[in-house]
Amino acid sequence: MEMEVSRPLRLRCSIQNYDWGKLGEDSRVARLFSRNSGAEIDPERPYAEFWMGTHESGPSFLARGESGGPDSEPLTLRKWILENPDVLGEKVVERWGSELPFLFKVLSVAKALSIQAHPDKELAGMLHKMRPSIYKDPNQKPEMAIALTDFKALCGFVSIEELKDVLAGVPEIVELVGDEDASKVLNAKEQDGYAEVKPILQSIFTKLMSANKEAVSELVSKLKCRLNVENKIRKLTEKEQLVLLLEQQYPADVGVISAFFFNYVKLSPGEALYIGANEPHAYISGDCIECMATSDNVVRAGLTPKYRDVQTLCSMLTYKQGFPEILRGTPLNHYISRYTPPFDEFEVDCCSLLPQESLVFPALAGPSIFVVVAGEGRMQMGSAVDEATVMEGHVYFVPANGEIGLTAGTAGPLQLYRAGVNSRVL
Ligand SMILES: [Zn+2]
C-alpha cells in the first residue's frame, strides 16, 4: 500500500502504567493520553509513560481516518513505515533500515525508578540472545530527559573526593563493604587517573550491591535511625534527605544506600540530562520529555520490585566519575531551542509560540515526531492546502523532507516538542 504522503499523520499512542507513575489527573502522561486517545482517566491508576514511536512494547497507531476507512484494522506506525520506507529519508534507511531509530516519550514520575543502566550495542545483542524474555531487543538505549517541571535524578558516580566524604560520613557503608575496600578509597589520590580508581570503585560498589538481603535491611534501618536522630541536632544534607525519602519508597532496598555513590541532579524546567551506555542512573521525581534509541533494554539493580541483574549491572558500568553535563538547549531562532545529545539516533527541539505567532520548521532529511504539550493552533505541510488543527495531546509523524508550518491559536501559547534523528548524521 503505497500512499502519497502530503501531510503530517496523526498518531494514537500507547502508555505504560508502571507503579512509579503519577496517579490519575495529577499525571501529565494521563492528561496527554486522554486528549490523544479520548480515553477516560482512572483516578486510581498510575500513568507513568506516554510512548510515541514503533517499539513493540508500546506501539503508536495511525489515528482513525489516517489509514483508510473507519472500519479498517488499526495500523501501527511501524507497519506503515515498513510499507513506506521512503518516509524515513535515504540517509536514515541506509543507516538503520526501515526502522525508526528513536523512541519519544513523556514521563510523570511520582516515586523513584529503579537504579539502572542501559547496555551498549554489543552487550545488548548478547543479553537479548541469552535472555530474550527480559532483554527484549538487541539495541543500545542512550537516552535524554528534558525537564517539564522540576526534575530530580541520580546519575553517574560522584568524584573520588566526594566518595571519600561519603565513606567518612556514612559508617554503615564501611560496615557493609569492609575496612580494606574503604581504606583503598580513602587512600586514593586526587591525581590518580581513571585506570587507578576504576577497580577500586568497581570493587566497593559491587560488594555493596551484592550484599545479602538481611545485612542490607539491617544497615538501611540503622542508617535511617541515625539520620532521624541527627536530624534533630543538624540540618541533613540534600543527599541524606533524599536517602530518607528513598527509604520510605523502597524500605530495606540496597538502592537506598547506593544513592550515596551517585550524583544528585536537580533540573529546572528546560534543562536536560543525557545518559550514555553503561552509565548508572535513576529518575526520582517530576515530569519530563524523554527521547532514546528504539529500545527497552534496562539492567536493574535496586529500587525496584522488578527483576534485578546485579552481576550484569556491576560488570557493565564504565565507573566514570563526576557530575554529568546539563544541556539548556541551543536557540535556533526566536521560537525553537535544540537539545543535541552526543548520540546519532536523536535530537529534540522545544518550540513555543505566543498566540497567533507563526513559524516554519525547515524540511529535514529524516523523519520527525511532534507532540503538542500545551495550547492549540494549526499545522500544515509544505504548500498543501490541507491544514490540521493541533491541540494538546496531539502527536504527528512528519516524513523526511516535509516542511512544517505552525500557527498558534488565539487562546494561549502553543508549546510542542519535536524528536528527530540527530542532524549531524543527516
Ligand atoms: Zn534509563
Binding residues: 116, 118, 143, 281
List the single range of 93-97, 138-142, 167-171, 187-191 with lowest mean pLDDT: 187-191
What nine digits make up the cell of 205?
560498589
Could you tell me the distance, in angstroms and rounded to a whole number, from the CA of residue 350 to the centre of ligand 1?
A: 21
Residue located via cell numbers 523532507: 401
Q: Is the pLDDT of residue 108 over 60?
A: yes
> What is the pLDDT, as a whole number, of residue 358?
94
Say whether 120 sits in a helix, a strand or coil.
coil
Could you tell me the distance, in angstroms and rounded to a whole number, from the CA of residue 2 to the centre of ligand 1?
A: 36
Domains of the chain: 9-153 (2.60.120.10), 158-260+305-323 (1.10.441.10), 330-425 (2.60.120.10)
Binding residues for Zn(2+): 116, 118, 143, 281
Q: What is the arithmetic mean of pLDDT over 269-292?
A: 96
Single-letter residue type at 251: P
Question: 177: which residues sit within 8 A by CB, 6+ positions away?
Answer: 204, 207, 208
Could you tell me the distance, in angstroms and rounded to a whole number, from the CA of residue 103 to the centre of ligand 1?
A: 13
95 is catalytic: no
Dump pLDDT digits (tens) for 392-405. 999 999 999 999 99
Nearest to 371 by CA among 414, 401, 421: 414
> Length of the chain in residues, anyone?
426
15 vs 1: CA distance, rounded Å:
28
Three-point CA angle 29, 289, 139, nearest 5°: 105
Dump pLDDT digits (tens) for 303-323. 888 888 899 999 999 999 999
Q: Is the pLDDT of residue 7 over 80?
A: no
Q: Is the pLDDT of residue 72 over 70?
A: no
Dump pLDDT digits (tens) for 252-266. 999 999 999 999 999
Q: Is the pLDDT of residue 26 over 60?
A: yes
> What is the pLDDT, as a whole number, of residue 397?
96
Residue located via cell numbers 541515625: 226
What nine digits make up the cell of 40?
477516560
Could you tell me the distance, in angstroms and rounded to a whole number, from the CA of residue 279 to the centre of ligand 1?
A: 9
282 vs 401: CA distance, rounded Å:
37
Among candidate residues 12, 28, 31, 300, the one labeled active-site is: 300
Is 0.85 topped by the overall pTM? yes
132 vs 136: CA distance, rounded Å:
5
